Amino acid sequence: MQVERSALLQDRKNEVMISVQNVSKHFGQIKALDQISFEVKCGEILGFLGPNGAGKTTAMRILTGFFPPTSGKVWIDGREFFKDPRQAKRTIGYLPETLNLYPDMRVREFLKFVAELRQVAGKKRRSHLDEILSRCGLWNVKHRLIGFLSKGYRQRVGLAQALIGDPSVVILDEPTSGLDPKQIIEIRSLIRELGRERTLILSTHILPEVSMVCDRVLIINQGKVVASGTVDELEAGLKEQHQIYVAIGDIGKKEDALNLLHSLEGAEQICITDEKAQEVGFSLIVPKGLDLRPIISRLFVEHQIPLLEIRSARLSLEEIFMKIVVDETRSGAAL
């Protein structure tokens, strides 16, 4: 069955699976989502990245049909979601952010209940359940009470629940929050594996998780999409820039060095980043594709400034994220 699915996905690789257009959600005065639009392709793993309160959960709740948006439209697999929510919900599996499940039910019994609710045909139910139990590593605990499972195992039950009925889209809200490092690693590898056969959306406020798991990232802040692209695209440079760091070994030549740097074509945001004893460090932002390092080192040698270090630093995803979020918040506050 797995093979079939992967083949099917290959065929539909470039089709749009989910399309969100100008969706807003207001809670009274609070605009939890403000005119967001994005698309997800078949078989893609999309990450929602954003600080707490950004609107990730709200966006996912709309995508799962938990509540309708205040305005805007959602299409799943070519059909408008809220015209026929029942049909749309069949194509979607969801793992909410916090989930305790029924502590007094046994793992298999609970999954069977879900299978009945998700209308898995009676004949297929048995084998379907067995397959999901073993894929999620729950085979050995299938007769245990959910209340007695560890948080990591409970999360697996939550994940298993989202897979029942073989939905083509799976949505996971902060699937690794509250787990210990070992459990996080296990759940992440499970997610990666699941992503091979279906369209997957997951939200997180942890950066490394995005680069580890996702094909594409959507950065959300204060209810708006502030950036989107593959991890590489985002890392390749915010606004097509990168950073150069220069350190000299003579504090007396500080002014000379600054003047030289200012005289360079294309260099921006030149500033002193650190000063200790005789050492001074500078940083400057240059457009991508313009490498000023050879020129800088030649100029400094010509002017007898002792050059200690010169390196180019790519802005990391973390810096991009911080920059976007901080910039946005600042401009939002200024308005």
Partner 1 sequence: MKNSWVLAWKDLTSYFRSWTGVLACFFFLVIAGVFLSLLVISFAHLSMEASRGPADSFQGLGLTRFVFGSFFLNIGTILIFLVPILSMRAFAEERRHQTLELLFTYPFSDFEIVWGKYLGMIFFFQILTLPILFFVWFVHGLGLTLDWGPIAFGFLGFWLLGCAYLSLGLFISSISENQVISAIVTFGCLLIFWILEWVAGVADGSWAHFFAALSPIRHYRDFTFGIFDMSDFVYFCFFNLYFLFLTLRAIETRNWKG
Ligand X SMILES: Nc1ncnc2c1ncn2[C@@H]1O[C@H](COP(=O)(O)OP(=O)(O)O)[C@@H](O)[C@H]1O
**Contact footprint for ligand X (CB under 6 A):** 27, 30, 32, 50, 52-58
Looking at the Cβ atoms of 30 and 322, the one nearer to ligand X is 30
User: Of partner 1, Mg ion, ligand X, none, which one does residue 148 interact with (CB within 5 to 8 Å by kind)?
Assistant: none
> Closest distance between ligand X and the C-beta of residue 31, in Å?
8
Task: Say which entry of ligand X, Mg ion, partner 1, none residue 186 contacts (CB below 5 to 8 A, set by partner kind).
Answer: none
Is the Cβ of residue 53 or residue 137 nearer to Mg ion in the bound state? 53
Q: Which of 92, 111, 179, 219 binds partner 1 (CB under 8 A)?
A: 92
Q: Binding residue for partner 1 (CB under 8 A) from 116, 180, 291, 327?
A: 116
> What residues have CB less than 8 Å from 107, skipping those under 6 apart?
133, 138, 141, 142, 143, 144, 146, 149, 157
**CA-to-CA distance for 319 and 331, rounded, in angstroms?**
18
| Complex with ligand X: residue 52 or 100, whichever CB lies closer | 52
The label of the residue with tokens 């150069």 reads: 244
CA distance 130 to 108: 9
Helices 122-135, 151-163: axis angle to 10 degrees equals 140
Does residue 221 interact with Mg ion by CB under 5 A?
Answer: no
Q: How far is the CB of 95 from partner 1 (least distance, A)?
A: 9
Q: Which does 47 bind (CB under 5 to 8 A by kind): Mg ion, ligand X, partner 1, none?
A: none
| Residues between 45 and 74 that touch Mg ion (CB under 5 A) | 56-57
- The option from ligand X, partner 1, Mg ion, none interacting with 53 (CB < 5 to 8 A, set by class) reads ligand X
Residue 199 binds which of Mg ion, ligand X, partner 1, none (CB < 5-8 A, kind-dependent): none
Residue 60 Cβ vs ligand X, minimum distance, rounded to whole Å: 8
Joined together, the tokens standing for residue 334 give 């200024």
What's the closest the beta carbon of residue 152 comes to Mg ion, in angstroms? 20
- Partner interacting with residue 253 (select from ligand X, Mg ion, partner 1, none; CB below 5-8 Å by kind): none
Judged by CB under 8 A, the chain residues 32 through 91 that form the site for partner 1 are 61, 64-67, 85-87, 89-90
Of 129-168, which residues contact partner 1 (CB under 8 A)? Answer: 161
Contact partner, 117, from ligand X, Mg ion, partner 1, none, Cβ < 5-8 Å per class: partner 1
Per DSSP bridges, beta strands 92-95 and 241-248 are: unpaired
Q: Comparing C-alpha atoms, which of 164, 189, 160 is closest to residue 176?
A: 189
Residues forming the site for partner 1 (CB under 8 A): 61, 64-67, 85-87, 89-90, 92, 94, 96, 98-105, 113-114, 116-119, 161
